[in-house]
A and B are shown apart, each in its own frame.
Chain A
Amino acid sequence: MRCLCGVQLCLALMGGAAVCEPAPEATRSYGPAQADVRLTVRGTTDIARFEPVLEKFLARSDGVRIEYEQWGSNDLYLATDADCRSGHATADLVISSSIDQQVKLANDGCAAAYRSDETTGLPAVSNWRDEVFGMTWEPAVIVYNGNMIGDAQAPKSRFDLIDLLRPEDSAFRGRVATYDIEASGLGYLFAFADSQQATTFGRLIEAFGRSGAVATCCSAAIIDGVANGDYLVAYNVLGSYALARADENPDIVVVAPDDYTLVLARAALIPRHAAMPGLAGAFVDFLLSGPGRSALRSANLIVDTSEGVHAAMRLPENPEVSLRPIPLSVALLVGLDQHKRREFISRWRAAFPKE
Chain B
Amino acid sequence: MMADPAARARISGSLRFRLAAGIILVLAIGGVAVAYAAFTYGRDAAQQSFDRLLVGAANQVAGALRLRDGEVVVDIPISAFELLSLAPRDRVVYGVFGDDGTLITGYDIPSPPDGDGMFFTGSFAGEAARFVRVTRQFSERSFLGSVDVIIGQTTEARRELAQQITRNTLIAVAAIGVGMAALAALAVQSALSPLHRIERDIAARSSKDLTPVDVNVPREISSLVHALNRFIARIERQLHVMRTLIADASHQLRTPIAALRAQAELAAEEPDQERTLKIVGRIHERSRNLSRLTDQLLSHALIIHRADTVDLEALDLRTVATEAVDQTDQSMPDVDRAIRLVLPEAPVMCDGDRLSLAEACKNLINNALNHGRSPISVFVQGREGHARIGVRDGGTGIPEAMWRNAGSRFAKDAGVSVKGAGLGLAIVNAVSEAHGGQMRMERPSEAAFEVSLELPLLSEDAE
Contact = CB atoms under 8 A, between A and B. Distances in A.
Interface stretch (B28-36, B68-76, B427-435): B68-76
Given A108-B125, A334-B81, A340 B92 contact: no
A95 B96 CA distance: 31
Contacts of A338: 105-106
B78 interface: yes
Interface in B58-97: 73-78, 80-82, 84-85, 88-93, 96
Contacts of A330: 81, 84-85, 90-92
A339 B104 contact: yes
Given A107-B92, A107-B125, A338-B105, A333 B81 contact: yes
A329 B85 contact: yes
Contacts of A317: none
Interface in A95-122: 106-109
B76 A340 contact: yes
Nearest to A335: B78
B78 A329 contact: no
B126 interface: yes
A333 B73 contact: no
Contacts of A343: 73, 75
A185 B206 CA distance: 102
Interface string A313-355: 0000000000000000111011001111001000000000000
Contact of B75 (A109, A124, A129, A339): A339
Dominant SS among interface residues on chain A: helix
Nearest to B68: A343
Given A329-B85, A331-B85, A334-B81, A107 B74 contact: no
Interface string B110-135: 00000000000000111100000000
A196 interface: yes
Contact of B74 (A106, A108, A340): A340
Given A339-B105, A340-B74, A109 B91 contact: yes
Contacts of A196: 78
A339 B89 contact: no
Nearest to B84: A330
A121 to B, nearest CB: 17
A337 B105 contact: yes
A329 B104 CA distance: 24
B89 A129 contact: yes
Interface residues of B, number: 25
Given A331-B78, A331-B85, A337 B125 contact: no
A290 B150 CA distance: 44
A233 B91 CA distance: 40
A107 B154 CA distance: 10
Contacts of B126: 109
A130 B126 CA distance: 17
A333 B85 CA distance: 11
Contact of B78 (A107, A128, A334, A339): A334
B92 A337 contact: no
A198 to B, nearest CB: 13
A340 B81 contact: no
Residue of A109, A124, A339 most packed against chain B (CB within 10 A)? A339
Contacts of A109: 91, 124-127
A340 B88 contact: no
Contact of B76 (A124, A128, A129, A339): A339
B221 to A, nearest CB: 61
A128 B106 CA distance: 21
Contacts of A124: 88
B75 A107 contact: no
B88 to A, nearest CB: 7
Nearest to B124: A109
Residue of B93, B124, B125 most packed against chain A (CB within 10 A)? B125
A107 B94 CA distance: 11
Contacts of B104: 339
A128 B81 CA distance: 15
Interface string A115-148: 0000000001000110000000000000000000
6 contacts: A107-B91, A109-B127, A329-B88, A330-B81, A331-B82, A334-B80
Interface of B: 73-78, 80-82, 84-85, 88-93, 96, 104-106, 124-127
